[in-house]
């Protein structure tokens, strides 16, 4: 490719990138103005087939930041300011963060999450939870979108006490739930199939924006199950995106309404509950990566069904927003992973942990580590010992405590920062009697 052609391809790509990067300005409908300016250019000479070759070249040649090694990544907690707040539906609220001071935010991988920490005025203690980033991965600000959970601590604190200009603490973006980087670089990438229900839409938005930034020709299918047009965060901008992008990019949006109001349904929308069969029928194939996020029942049914219908098991991933159920946790795993349903817990590997006594020193409580437990956090929760948790996959660091005595093992090394005398409760298993400072 000649330098000028290369430059033209990049230029074309950066036009697109600017447009996609502005998608977070969905809030101000700024992106609409930008697309009006840019889409005619794309439409006139660069329809999907035409841009495909350029996009493949662009994806391969544009230097990708190594996000995990980015120099702007920080350790521990960082104070950020709330720049704006917006309700996306009656119970889902977006918070946009900008740096309070110091360095700009580093980019992240679409699908990753932030761990957010606040002071709980009712107890005086800090509370932290994980929230998927719903903004584009290389925008100068970060956005999370939080659903209010009845009785929930953090979601209600965020909704009720946090206003524009307030400071909160965050950790750097983390998480393994993202699309394959290798796939987006290939000349003929497999489709990227994003399947969300309700608030599970948040990681899908950042993945869709990332894919569009990388290349506009990739087939991206966004399946979105909502109840109706009201309880559906981001529905309006998603519809707008679908209309804007369908002739110039590979993005297709498929909306499913389980209990629509009379004026919710538009041409192409479906009524009912999304299933693996319906997804494969709508796609007309079972190729590509599948990333699923929503209630556990929804994810399990869709993941199992997709594999039964022929999807490659190692291409089916899901992210659980957690809670305290056993199958939850923030683990983004191939659905076929034997550990995903707890089956691995009874395997020979975990046997050496079963039966060891676990003592929580401050709470003065002890219990044995039992078969089927994922980590010491399960023991703490069974005893009602107060410990924080977030991702339940060793990433966020919320559950880190001091190990007073004893030894633990990790099936997979945790990714959070850890001092020598600390232990990551959610993924640590005892291999001797242990005493924890909690
Ligand atoms: C990787 C990851 C990404 C996530 N991304 C998002 C996202 O984008 N958006 C989002 O909204 N959430 C997201 N979550 C979920 C989020 O982290 C929180 O779990 C969620 O906001 C609930 O937190 P909470 O503190 O409000 O509820 P908690 O206080 O943790 O309560 C959790 C549950 O326990 C129940 N409960 C609490 N107290 C009691 C009690 N005394 N008695 C009985 N039941 C009780 C609550 O009703 C609730 O069902 C994500 C989670 C993970 C792990
Ligand atoms: S809960 Fe996130 S590291 Fe344990």
* The predicted structure's pLDDT at residue 57: 58
- Does pLDDT of 361 surpass 60? yes
Between the CA of 405 and the centroid of ligand 1 the distance, in Å, is: 31
Cα gap 200→182, rounded to integer Å: 24
Lowest mean per-residue pLDDT among 57-61, 119-123, 146-150, 286-290: 57-61
Task: Indicate whether residue 321 lines ligand 1 (CB < 6 A).
Answer: yes
Answer for the pair 279, 291: CB distance below 8 angstroms, yes or no. no
Considering only CA atoms, which of 316, 263, 262, 306 is closest in space to residue 286?
Answer: 306
Please give the backbone phi and psi of residue 360, each rounded to the nearest 5 degrees, phi first. -105, 110
DSSP character string of 148-177: PPTT-HHHHHHHHH--TT-EEEEPPPB-S-
Among 329, 424, 428, 438, name the best residue to mutate to test ligand 2's pocket (greatest count of ligand atoms within 8 A of Cβ).
Answer: 424
- Ligand nearest the Cα of residue 423 is 2
Per-residue pLDDT, averaged over 399-418, amounts to 92
Between the CA of 35 and the centroid of ligand 2 the distance, in Å, is: 40
Give the residues surrounding ligand 2 with Cβ less than 6 Å away.
389-392, 394-399, 416, 424, 426
Per-residue pLDDT, averaged over 354-358, amounts to 97
pTM of the model: 0.81
CA angle 90–235–157, rounded 5-degree value: 35
Q: How does pLDDT run across 315-334, given as a tens digit for each residue?
A: 999 998 874 433 323 333 44
* The predicted structure's pLDDT at residue 59: 57
Comparison of pLDDT for 20 and 372, the residue scoring more: 372
Between the CA of 189 and the centroid of ligand 1 the distance, in Å, is: 35
Which residue owns the Cα nearest ligand 1 atom 26? 152
- Does pLDDT of 51 surpass 70? no
Model confidence band, residue 288 (pLDDT cutoffs 50, 70, 90): very high
Per-residue pLDDT, averaged over 232-246, amounts to 92
Q: How does pLDDT run across 94-119, given as a tens digit for each residue?
A: 999 999 988 999 999 999 999 999 99
Which residue owns the Cα nearest ligand 1 atom 20? 155
* The predicted structure's pLDDT at residue 42: 33
Among 92, 130, 332, name the best residue to mutate to test ligand 1's pocket (greatest count of ligand atoms within 8 A of Cβ).
Answer: 130
Domains, the chain:
69-170 (2.40.30.10), 177-334 (3.40.50.80), 348-437 (3.10.20.30)
Average pLDDT of the chain is 82
């Amino acid at each position: 490719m000649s330098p000028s052609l290369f430059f033209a391809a990049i230029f074309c790509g950066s036009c697109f990138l600017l447009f996609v990067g502005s998608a977070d300005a969905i809030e101000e409908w700024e992106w609409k103005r930008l697309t009006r300016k840019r889409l005619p250019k794309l439409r006139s000479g660069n329809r999907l087939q035409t841009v495909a070759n350029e996009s493949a070249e662009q994806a391969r040649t544009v230097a990708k930041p190594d996000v995990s090694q980015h120099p702007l990544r920080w350790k521990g907690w960082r104070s950020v300011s709330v720049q704006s707040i917006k309700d996306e539906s009656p119970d889902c609220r977006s918070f946009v963060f900008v740096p309070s001071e110091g360095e700009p935010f580093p980019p992240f991988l679409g699908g990753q999450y932030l761990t957010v920490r606040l002071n709980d005025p009712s107890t005086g203690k800090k509370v932290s939870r994980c929230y998927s980033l719903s903004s584009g991965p290389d925008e100068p600000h970060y956005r999370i979108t939080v659903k209010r959970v009845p009785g929930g601590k953090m979601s209600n604190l965020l909704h009720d006490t946090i206003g524009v200009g307030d400071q909160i603490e965050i950790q750097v973006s983390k998480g393994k739930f993202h699309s394959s980087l290798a796939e987006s670089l290939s000349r003929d990438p497999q489709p990227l199939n994003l399947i969300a229900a309700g608030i599970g839409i948040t990681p899908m938005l950042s993945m869709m924006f990332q894919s569009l930034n990388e290349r506009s020709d990739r087939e991206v299918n966004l399946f979105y199950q909502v109840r109706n047009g009201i309880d559906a965060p981001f529905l309006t901008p998603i519809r707008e995106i679908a209309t804007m992008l369908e002739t110039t990019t590979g993005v297709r949006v498929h909306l499913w309404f389980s209990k629509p109001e009379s004026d919710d349904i538009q041409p192409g929308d479906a009524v009912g509950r999304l299933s693996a069969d319906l997804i494969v029928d709508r796609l007309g194939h079972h190729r590509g990566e599948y990333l699923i996020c929503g209630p556990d029942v929804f994810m399990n049914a869709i993941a199992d069904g997709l594999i039964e219908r022929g999807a490659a098991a190692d291409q089916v991933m899901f992210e659980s927003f957690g809670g305290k159920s056993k199958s939850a946790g923030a683990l983004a795993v191939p659905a076929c992973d034997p550990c995903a349903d707890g089956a691995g817990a009874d395997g020979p590997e975990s046997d050496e942990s079963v039966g060891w006594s676990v003592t929580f020193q401050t709470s003065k409580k002890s219990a044995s580590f039992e078969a089927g437990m994922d980590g010491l956090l399960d023991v703490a929760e069974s005893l009602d010992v107060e410990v924080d948790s977030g991702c339940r996959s060793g990433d966020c660091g919320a559950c880190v405590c001091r190990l007073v005595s004893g030894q633990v093992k990790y099936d997979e090394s945790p990714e959070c920062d850890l001092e020598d005398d600390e232990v990551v409760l959610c993924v640590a298993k005892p291999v001797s009697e242990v005493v924890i400072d909690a």
